[in-house]
Amino acid sequence: MLEYILSGFAAVFTWQNLLISIFSCFMGNLVGVLPGLGPTAAVSLLFPFTLKLQPLSTILCLGAIYYGAMYGGAITSVLLNIPGEVASVPTAMDGYPRAKEGKAGSTLLMCACSSFFGGMISLFILAFFAPVLARFALSFGSFEYFGLMVFSLCCACGLSGKSVARGLAAALIGVGISMVGIDSSTSAFRLTFNQVKLYNGIDIIPIVVGIFGITEVLQGILDNTKSVAGNGVKFKRSLPTKRETKLGFGAACRGTLFGSMLGILPGLTPSSCTFIAYSLNKKLSVEKEKIGKGAVEGICCAEAANNSSAMSGFIPLLALGIPTGPVLAIVMSALIITGVVPGPLMFSSNISLTGQIIAAFFIGNCILLIMNVPLIKIWVKIAVLPYKWLAPVILFLCMLGTMAVRFQVFDLAMMLVFGILGFVAKKKSFPVAPMVLGAVLGQSIEIYFRQAATIGFEKITSHPISIGAIALGLIMLVIFAVFKGRVDD
């Protein structure tokens, strides 16, 4: 495989492909910065323009937009506490508190490096282990997915501060929010209160933008904040300390491992993978008590998991022809239109094209890093701008991102409602992270639960992975409830 990858660099190193890669990375970054749009919207919008390109140029363009958008969401997450994409929510939870301490520069640098590291390791896995891992991913069924979801929700209690009960309640509230609308199986109305606008459910974007963006604006107005970096806080150096580098590298390795393993599973989007990896990292972190409050480990794990899961999604796509999410379904359609059918032949008769694709992704990741690191000094200036200037911009971005999803004024109302709820929750020390996780995973939990119930729960004994995940999650929940104080100490 290595010889095909090396020969692939020659095919990629043309001025046309390099220009496509630079443009696509820039567009991905731009879309990632704007809350609500995300990689799915970006890839969908640019998909028609790739139909006349060669197969390599097509996947180079769409792939660069994809992982470019995944990183772009970290910028506004760190500087403004507005996740540009749902997968950037964990980054905002730890990145924004550091920006308020005057550490936005080092935080963005660690985001860029962790994202690059996660992407490169996943690329290595794609190159040499894709067929084996793709076959393993097919062994996951409804029971395994349901067990994994339950386990991640139990882990979310670790993000709930000192009260496990509040964390569990928040997670269940999030699951309840995800169930608003028409039941896809029975067509029954659930939690709609006879409101037509609620028939289609509540989109996750107004929830995320409201809880993080609007809440922060309200808090800033209440505190009479002078700038994001705080009243009188001076901007600190852009390089992380040795200890931060050490902690960040370990967290990036864990995030890459979790993201790569979860990313190959069909049905798990990078958003879900990042949340699950972030929850698991909480249990393995050196500074557990800082996770969610400005921890280096939280930032590096989230960004590494984010990009590695996005890259790992290409493993089942190329090896088996199975897309793991909507973005890769569009990429698959583009390849088929250009005459390339993803599947086992990509690693036999089409192995030269596969080598070119891997080389293209390698170059794309390098361009993304080179493009973003020099811009850090420009981005961090936002953190010291007067808040009276930033607040209207933040509100505008929140409204723009929310409206861009479904073009409904109702979503703006939901954004404001969740913004107020987030503000009240923050004042009452009620955790919002488990609620967001519950809202993100809620529909998947319901789908896999129903599928497992249809098959018959008595057959769960033949699914040891599911039993182990559920049992471990419940055990951890009991441990958190009984020994939470000692664990935090």
Position 482: which residue type?
A: V
Q: What is the model's pLDDT at position 488?
A: 46
pLDDT at 231: 46
The 3 state secondary structure assigned to 266-328 is CCCCHHHHHHHHHHHHHHHCCCHHHCCCCCHHHHHHHHHHHHHHHHHCHHHHHHHCCCCCHHH
Which amino acid, residue 123? L
Instruction: Report how far residue 229's alpha carbon sits from residue 56's, in angstroms, rounded to the nearest whole number.
Output: 44
- The secondary structure of 127-178 as a DSSP string is HHHHHHHHHHHTT--HHHHHHHHHHHHHHHGGGSTT-HHHHHHHHHHHHHHH
Q: Across-strand partners of 189? A: 182
Q: Name residue 141's amino acid.
A: G
Q: What is the pLDDT of residue 233?
A: 45
Assigned token pair, 101: 């301490």
What's the pLDDT score for residue 226?
Answer: 66
Beta bridge partners of 190: 181
Nearest Cα to Cα of residue 372 among 14, 16, 19, 30? 30
pLDDT for the residue 121:
92
User: pLDDT tens, 119-136?
Assistant: 899 888 888 887 777 777
Angle between helices 55-80 and 296-312 (to 10 degrees): 160
Tokens 């001025």 correspond to 15
The DSSP symbol for 339 reads T
Q: Could you read off the pLDDT of 275-328 as tens digits, one per residue?
A: 888 888 877 888 777 887 888 898 999 999 988 888 888 888 887 777 777 778
Dump the DSSP string for 227-274.
Answer: STT-TTPPP--SSPPHHHHHHHHHHHHHHHHHHHHHHTSTT--HHHHH
Exposed, middle or buried by CB within 10 Å (0-12, 13-18, 19+), for 88?
Answer: buried
**Widest Cα–Cα separation across the chain:** 64
pLDDT at 133: 74
Q: What is the pLDDT of residue 484?
A: 56
Q: What is the pLDDT of residue 487?
A: 42
Interatomic CA distance for residues 359 and 355, integer angstroms: 6
Contact call for residues 305 and 104 (beta carbons, < 8 A): no
Residue 242, φ and ψ in degrees, nearest 5:
-65, -40
Handedness of CA 445, 450, 455, 461 (dihedral sign): positive
Rounded to whole angstroms, the Cα distance separating 90 from 94 reads 7
Residues of the chain with pLDDT under 70: 35-38, 41, 45, 137-138, 156-162, 225-238, 266-267, 380, 382-384, 480, 482-489
Could you give the CA distance from residue 255 to residue 271 in angstroms, rounded to a whole number?
A: 13
Q: What is the pLDDT of residue 430?
A: 83
